[in-house]
Structure 1
Amino acid sequence: MRGLILVSSLSPPFIVSMSVASGTGALAGLGGFILASGLASLVGGRIFGRLADRSSRRLMTGAAAAASVVSLGFVAAVSLPGFDGSSAAGTVVFVGGYFLLTLLHSGVRVGRKTYVLDVAEGDLRTTYVAVSNSAMGIILLVVGGISTAVAMAGVEWALVFLAALGLVGAASGLRMPEVSAAAR
């Protein structure tokens, strides 16, 4: 399931790539993306920590589903006839989409980490975390490679591919057992 909810971690670089390709100024766009990333991290930690305590499973799946919807909405917005990525409105769309995906990625990460810690007890936690992180590294490489190959047909197709994976991952996450004490 964890491998299917990579939409929030792998989509933001594709948004930056689309932004540059559509004519957003490199330095102007970069500053907006850096600010969006910092703000999302600052806000996300506060919001999602509390939600993970209630139900890490629901947070993880909900944030992945929301990231998929944001990605699809973003692709739809930039595909509209007359969309101008070099305009102020276009920059807002790119930076806003990036912000939302980065914010939701905080939710996926906090939910995923809390779930792994809650599902294991005692000494098993260290083993679960180590195996989980190693597996995610490999899965990130594989899915990142596949999404990069898909991007050769168009960056928007990579975002659609990742969004589809995210929706499948969110649906499969709903079948996972609830492990948060507050949700049981």
Structure 2
Amino acid sequence: ALLFSTLDEAKSEGGKATPASFSILKEDANLRRFILVRGLLVATSLAPPYFVVLAGGEDQSALGQLGALVLASALASLLSSYVWGRLSDQSSRRVLMLTGIVGALAMGGAVALALLGMATQIWAMPLMLFILMIAYHGVRQGRSTYLVDMSPKDQRSAYAAVSNTVIGGLLLVAGVAGGGAALIGPVATLVLFAVMSAGAAIAALGLREVEAAD
């Protein structure tokens, strides 16, 4: 924070989510679909705590596997970021589709291991979390690239502001829903998240190829 406070940042002429900015939601159907896809993909960021719960077993104590889970997350970031970046330059739409599929498979795999009574195995949840975090980092790369490439150059700040504002609202709702989902247990919650992630992949099929347009 101290280092960032020393940066000299040029003033921006736009970027605030004003009522006028929100009119682009009515005008741009592709933006609406992108926000839908991005909203469904928040499942990849909400799911990791439930992996930790499953790894802890019946006593909910996951400290014994915490190091392996953290390592799995770090390795996923290290190994996948470059690949997702290159793929996003070619087609960020396909990246969003792939990450939805990979995320759904990771969460489905975690559920399957839990139902088989194997979730507390030392390798089980770290492996599933590794796959999930690969998807998560792809989501971050794909959504950023797609938003920049789809936005008109003179409206990029408005597109970013509107998209982030809507997603922020969805995250608040998701936080409340996540608290309620805890009552139905981690397995049922992960099933819901897997469906969301798969739904994102399907919804991404309808997105425009913005890199091809360039």
Q: Normalising to structure 1: TM-score of the pair?
A: 0.88
The letter for the 2-side match of 1:5 is L
| Mapping for residues 12-27 of structure 1, pairs under 5 Å | 12-22=48-58, 26-27=62-63
The answer as to 2:42 corresponding to 1:11 is no
| Mapping for residues 154-173 of structure 1, pairs under 5 Å | 154-173=185-204
Comparing 95-104 and 20-29, the one that deviates more: 20-29
Match of 2:174 among 143, 147, 152: 143
| Mapping for residues 1-184 of structure 1, pairs under 5 Å | 1=36, 2-22=38-58, 26-80=62-116, 82-83=117-118, 85=120, 90-181=121-212
What do the CA deviations read for 1:76-96 (whole angstroms, capped 9, x no partner)?
11211x4361xxxx1211111
Contact 1:61 1:170 in 2 (8 A): yes
The letter for the 2-side match of 1:161 is L
- Between the aligned partners of 1:162 and 1:148, the Cα distance in structure 2 is 14
- Of all paired residues, the percent bearing the same amino acid is 37
Contact 1:148 1:158 in 2 (8 A): no
> Where do 5+ consecutive residues of structure 2 fail to align?
1-35
Q: Say which SS state the counterpart of residue 47 (structure 2) adopts.
A: helix
What do the CA deviations read for 1:43-89 (whole angstroms, capped 9, x no partner)?
12111000101110110111112211221121011211x4361xxxx
Deviation at 1:23, TM superposition (A): 5.5
- Between the aligned partners of 1:148 and 1:47, the Cα distance in structure 2 is 34
- Between the aligned partners of 1:151 and 1:79, the Cα distance in structure 2 is 17
Bigger Cα Rg? 2
Q: Say which SS state the counterpart of residue 210 (structure 2) adopts.
A: coil
- Between the aligned partners of 1:145 and 1:84, the Cα distance in structure 2 is 26
- Between the aligned partners of 1:84 and 1:65, the Cα distance in structure 2 is 21
- Between the aligned partners of 1:179 and 1:83, the Cα distance in structure 2 is 43
The letter for the 1-side match of 2:92 is S
Contact 1:29 1:91 in 2 (8 A): yes
Change in CA separation of 1:144 and 1:120 when aligned onto 2, cut-off 3 Å:
same
Q: How many residues align?
A: 178
Change in CA separation of 1:151 and 1:106 when aligned onto 2, cut-off 3 Å:
same
What do the CA deviations read for 1:75-131 (whole angstroms, capped 9, x no partner)?
011211x4361xxxx121111111111111011111111100000122311111122
Q: Normalising to structure 2: TM-score of the pair?
A: 0.76
Q: Say which SS state the counterpart of residue 208 (structure 2) adopts.
A: coil
Bigger relative CO (Cα 8 Å, ≥ 6 apart): 1
Contact 1:57 1:111 in 2 (8 A): yes
